[in-house]
Amino acid sequence: MSRFFHLLINEHMKLYIRKSTWIMYGLLAIIIVGLGLLSNTFTNDVEYDDNWRETLQEENEQLIKENEEFQENMANGDAEIYAGPNSHLIEKNNYYLENDIQPTPYDAWQFVMENEMLLSIVSLLTIIIAAGIVAHEFKWGTIKLLLIRPITRAKILLSKYVTVLLFAFYTLCFVLIFSWIVGALFFGVAGMSPHIVINQNGDFAQVSVLSEIMSGYGYKLINLVMMATFAFMISTIFRNSTIAIGLAIFLMMAGNSIVTFFADRAWAKYILFANTDLSQYADGNSPWIDDMTLQFSISVLVVYYIIFLALSWLFFTKRDVAGQ
Amino acid sequence: MTEQAMELINVRKQIGKKEIIKDLSFTIQKGEVFGFIGPNGAGKTTTIRMMVGLMKLTDGDVRILGKSIKTNYKEAIREVGAIVENPEMYPFMSGWRNLQHFSAMIPSITKERIEEVVRLVGLEKVITEKVGRYSLGMRQRLGIAQALLHKPSVLILDEPTNGLDPAGIREIRHYIRRLATEENVAVIISSHLLAEIEQMCDRIGIIKNGELITTQSVQDTMEQVDLQQVEMEVSPIEQAIDLLKEKHELNATEKDGTLHFQSTKEVIPVIIQTFVQHEIAIYQVGVSKTTLEDKFFDLIGENAIE
């Protein structure tokens, strides 16, 4: 076990001694600061103090006026169908008023919540790491020195896989923490457990931002782990990081299109990408294909996951390391 | 000194339908430097890869201190230090970090041991520099350092003098000899630089087309050869060739304006006498011992890859 720990340290050393890894974190930091600047410019700085009810009503009046102007400008009947650009905001404000909830200002927590989309970039970076971690050893020729040690190949492979997962985990933490810090600097922090009102399937509801962050990031993590494992598998089978990065990123981008394309086939529900988004089973959402259930998706994911790992193991432990 | 360090038993390797290694068997004793030579494509590197478990054996077995590489891999490989082909290290890490990296994979290698090995191969001054900036010779030394970290019983070096300057070659040669005699390490050196083998090895094995043609001790090889290669600068050269044929029944050839022939040592003064009597001017006489190289080409025929 302690040997395995040493292997992990080795893999971390090789990963974090290289500048390219730190450039990844640098890029993430720049993107987060950029998003902070953008949000800072576009959010309204209305302070909801003790008179928040009046403020909201004033806001609504203003919004209704804007809507009416909009409808006047639309000279035909379409306007009646379309309630106007601000109806959503009005409804939201009404919800605050009806339920007597003081609106919370935009703060670090909400910024973190919105940065959930950055997980696609974390996925991308993890794929790059996963694709390289085995293939690079072959490219550098160091695989020969790595394998002629009193350690089984399976253990070496596992140490590399765990390192990939840990990289994803660190990067995720980095996004969360750095987003929160940037958010705190730009927007301040409104309490440790803020609640916001969001639109859930047409109805407004008050939810905890923390639980939103957890579920939002959590659902996306499944896709991240699956694609990283996939890239890791391709990397061990082909011993080439370019193929692994290319295939994994292509599939990550095209995943939904692939499912849509084959949606009418009976086997479409067995496609990995039809199952990676488990939020399709969350309240009120409808799954890709009607007869799919949460249990079904989890089973499919587990089967794919085991196949990915089994193939990596098989190719890494059984195949000869021949000359280039 | 007669304890077996490594044993190859009927080793075969087949890739697809092609048989790359055919029934290879030999043993290496402790404290012995074994030269593994053969032309390119003969199967040297494949054999070495099988010895260290990078390639699976189709048939047969490799035993290191009696432990099978097939069934007892961890125990067997613990006794082996090796460089396979080029000494490739992580170019973005310092020499020290590289050694640290590999020592972490084997139990109980202390910092002192790493320092000791670095001193042994003479890399103290550059050990903190990135390997990417090393010359080939420095990488070769680092490769040897890496192979020695865990004090192996068997040291396998693939072309160890590749890229070293003459001083470096001498140093490594000296060092390998010392390892064998003082620490009783069995050293296996593959090479096609035969002059190297001659000076470093106790025994050589010659491989061709995946078959071991012969193994013999370097001492024997030297004794077997009593014919010497003689080179003479004489004038007129044609007359000299005729004279050698007439008087001594020797077939001489002219190459680059000098005379070449083979004879035993005792005949040389007689030949010179003959030349002097026939008023042939002799400018220079040179004798070279028949080298292993000639022997090598005798054994393998031409350097053809089949």
Residue B284: CATH number of its domain: 3.30.70.980
Low-confidence ranges of chain A (pLDDT < 70): 1, 43-50, 73-86, 199-202, 283-284, 323-324
**Average pLDDT score over residue span B56-79:** 92
Would residue B150 count as lying in a domain? yes
CA atoms within 13 A on the CB side of A90: 14
Q: Give the CATH number for residue B115.
A: 3.40.50.300
Binned at pLDDT 50, 70 and 90, residue B306 comes out as very low
Tokens 């001498």 -> residue: B170
* Residue numbers in A near B146 (CB within 8 A): 145
Residues B191, B230: one domain?
no
* Residue numbers in B near A3 (CB within 8 A): 105, 107
- What is the C-alpha to C-alpha distance for residues B73 and A107, in angstroms, rounded to an integer? 58
Residues B232, B146: one domain?
no
Mutate to test the interface with B, among A19, A320, A321 (most CBs of B within 10 A): A320
Would residue B305 count as lying in a domain? no
Full DSSP string of B32-56: -EEEEE--TTSSHHHHHHHHTTSS-
Residues B285, B173: one domain?
no
Query: What are the pLDDT digits (tens) for B179-218?
Result: 888 889 999 998 876 766 777 888 888 888 888 888 878 7
Q: pTM value?
A: 0.82
- What is the C-alpha to C-alpha distance for residues A198 and A186, in angstroms, rounded to an integer? 22
CA B40 to each of CA A165, B44, B298, B304: distance values in angstroms, whole numbers, following the listed order: 43, 8, 16, 9
Residues B114, B237: one domain?
no
Give the single-character DSSP code of B236.
Answer: S
Residue B222, pLDDT score: 56
Give the single-character DSSP code of B130.
Answer: B
Residues B155, B256: one domain?
no
In this model, does residue B1 exceed pLDDT 50? no
Which residues are registered as beta bridge partners of B258?
B255
Residues B185, B236: one domain?
no
A53 touching chain B per CB within 8 A: no
CA B284 to each of CA B59, B230, B231, B254: distance values in angstroms, whole numbers, following the listed order: 56, 11, 8, 14
Domain hosting B266: range is 226-289
- What is the C-alpha to C-alpha distance for residues A32 and A45, in angstroms, rounded to an integer? 20
- What is the C-alpha to C-alpha distance for residues A298 and B287, in angstroms, rounded to an integer? 83
Residues B150, B193: one domain?
yes
Query: What are the pLDDT digits (tens) for B79-124?
Result: 999 998 888 899 999 999 999 999 999 988 899 999 999 998 889 9
Count of structural domains within chain B: 2
Residues B188, B236: one domain?
no
Would residue B201 count as lying in a domain? yes
CA-based nearest residue to A189, from A102, A111, A103, A93: A111
Residues B67, B197: one domain?
yes
User: Tokens standing for B248?
Assistant: 């001594």
Residue A76, pLDDT score: 57
CA B175 to each of CA A240, B59, B121, B152, B180: distance values in angstroms, whole numbers, following the listed order: 38, 35, 9, 15, 9
Q: Do A10 and B55 touch (CB under 8 A)?
A: no
3-class SS of residue B26: strand
Would residue B295 count as lying in a domain? no
A310 touching chain B per CB within 8 A: no
Would residue B299 count as lying in a domain? no
Full DSSP string of A37-104: HHHHHHS------TTHHHHHHHHHHHHHHHHHHHHHHS-STHHHHS--TTHHHHHHHHHHHHHT-PPP
- What is the C-alpha to C-alpha distance for residues A113 and A168, in angstroms, rounded to an integer? 18
User: Tokens standing for A205?
Assistant: 């509801």
Closest Cβ opposite residue A320 in set B56, B73, B82? B56
- What is the C-alpha to C-alpha distance for residues B76 and B62, in angstroms, rounded to an integer? 9
Would residue B306 count as lying in a domain? no
Residue B305, pLDDT score: 42
Q: Do B53 and A14 touch (CB under 8 A)?
A: no
What ipTM was assigned to the predicted interfaces of this complex? 0.80
In B, what residues contact A, Cβ < 8 A? 45, 49, 52-56, 73-75, 77-78, 80, 82, 84-86, 88-93, 97, 101-102, 104-107, 146
**Average pLDDT score over residue span B127-143:** 90
Q: Do B49 and A141 touch (CB under 8 A)?
A: no
Give the single-character DSSP code of B94.
Answer: B
Query: What are the pLDDT digits (tens) for A254-280?
Result: 888 888 888 888 888 888 888 888 888
| N- to C-terminal Cα separation, chain B | 38
Would residue B304 count as lying in a domain? no
The residue from B166, B184, B217 where one domain ends is B217
Residues B149, B251: one domain?
no
Between B261 and B30, residue with greater pLDDT: B30
A321 touching chain B per CB within 8 A: yes
Give the single-character DSSP code of A115.
Answer: G
3-class SS of residue B207: strand
CA-based nearest residue to A13, from A146, A134, A163, A153: A163
Number of cross-chain residue pairs from A and B with Cβ atoms under 8 Å apart:
74
Query: What are the pLDDT digits (tens) for B245-283?
Result: 888 888 888 877 888 887 777 788 888 888 888 888 888
Residues B148, B27: one domain?
yes
Would residue B296 count as lying in a domain? no
Could you tell me if B19 and A113 are in contact, meaning their C-beta atoms sit under 8 angstroms apart?
Answer: no
Number of CB atoms found within 10 A of residue B275's CB: 21
User: Tokens standing for B121?
Assistant: 């191969």
Q: How much is the mean pLDDT over chain B?
A: 84
- What is the C-alpha to C-alpha distance for residues B14 and B16, in angstroms, rounded to an integer? 6
The residue from B217, B238, B258 where one domain ends is B217
CA atoms within 13 A on the CB side of A313: 11
Q: Do A141 and B85 touch (CB under 8 A)?
A: yes
Mutate to test the interface with B, among A19, A145, A163 (most CBs of B within 10 A): A145
The phi, psi pair for A42, rounded to 5°, reads -105, -10
Residue A78, pLDDT score: 54
Closest Cβ opposite residue B77 in set A14, A141, A150? A150
**Average pLDDT score over residue span B33-61:** 89
Could you tell me if A11 and A170 are in contact, meaning their C-beta atoms sit under 8 angstroms apart?
Answer: no
How many residues in total does chain B contain? 306
Residues B232, B122: one domain?
no
Residue B278, pLDDT score: 87
- What is the C-alpha to C-alpha distance for residues B80 and B6, in angstroms, rounded to an integer? 10
CA-based nearest residue to B159, from B189, B199, B198, B135: B189
CA-based nearest residue to B189, from B3, B9, B6: B6
Mutate to test the interface with B, among A149, A153, A156, A239 (most CBs of B within 10 A): A149
Could you tell me if A179 and A112 are in contact, meaning their C-beta atoms sit under 8 angstroms apart?
Answer: yes
